[in-house]
Structure 1
Amino acid sequence: MTILEVAGGTGIGGIALSKNLLSKGFKVRLIITDLRPKALEKAKEFSRDELGFEAETYVIDAREIHKLGIKADIILMYGNSHPTFSTFDMAKFILSSKLSLNSGGSLIIQGHNMFYDYIITSGYKEILPERVRKDKILLSIHEGYDEYRGMFKRLYIDLISGRKAEIELKYWDFGELIGLCKIFFSNVDLKMVGGHRGFVICSNLIEDVTSILT
């Protein structure tokens, strides 16, 4: 089984999946991609410790994984990476995944219905305490909204260290993810795991996307 984890960071999702498959007797090739070289170095060390072999790693944008020329059995996005993708970015990622899968392969996106939790249930907050500890007081503050890309802009400030970071977020719901996946896959399922979190599982590649109109 060839597993390609995108936006994988230290590889927690891909390594856990590989470990499970190895226990069932499969041979596994694990590839982990991310834009952060330091995180991928940790992924190599983590995979050696947990799997007994070192994962292949590549610094590459998730929207361009097809450029690696790898054909995977499973492409995995794990760790709630989807909020950093605009609708257009997500469509490009799913298309890139389609081009990177074997004919019987699957795309798995682990996600969170942020729209329901943060817009409907909690109500959107202009100022939100994200984390409060003795050594860290982290606030996020609304900075704006990009109408064209559908992205909220928030400024994150640590009041203890003074560090700041600007982040763009999209508050996805599962219906949006499923709708995009349905353009490229005929089978799209949703497995909920509690707390409005779940896995979107896509299989059966659609070669001719115009077939969704019939």
Structure 2
Amino acid sequence: MTEYDVLRVFCGPDGDDGNELGVVRDGAAVPAEDERQAFARRLGFSETVFVDDPERGVIDIYTPTLRLPFAGHPCVGTAWLLGLPALITPAGRVRARRDGEWAWIEARAEWAPPRTLRQYGSAAEVDALPVPPPGEWIYAWAWQDEAVGRVRARAFPGRDDGIDEDEATGAAALLLTARLGRALTVTQGRGSQIVTAPRPDGLVEVGGRVRPA
């Protein structure tokens, strides 16, 4: 039986909600890509991480149906779990830090998978959206308070893998931050919270609360 940790990443201010993440600390226990894909499918989380080098932070990320070169909530959750200054993903080296229940990463917008960022006129419109049919990956968002950078968002992966709506997606928040060029506090899904900020070197910082599930 392969052992794995389950975390909730991007929890809300009260510690609830957050997106579940599976982390296999001993990646060698599931060595082949097809085995990892099958394992991620069985777990059924939006993403599962396999740690291939716990000292250097080399990780491999899978959804139930595909392998990702980079993803936000898996990197934030694994950064919190391992407590390393960086993670190594196929997309590049992700700087990381941890402070109590919080963890942050710094990554480039071009590392994130393509997303359609679709703005709506109000948070109520975003709340009322039905789940769209499979197709494009949609990040629906609206300003809650533009002056202070508060955003309401929901994420629809558009895949036929049982994940109709993603509770909290760091990569999409990263892309939105890069587009708007300002720090954001995003409330996504039921009540998950993502905080972001553009960095002067072209990176975007993404962070949130992490707790064991």
Kindly name which structure, 1 or 2, has the bigger radius of gyration based on alpha carbons: 1
| Higher RCO (CA-CA < 8 Å; seq separation 6+) | 2
For normalisation by structure 2, the TM-score amounts to 0.26
Higher helix residue share? 1
TM-score by length of 1: 0.26
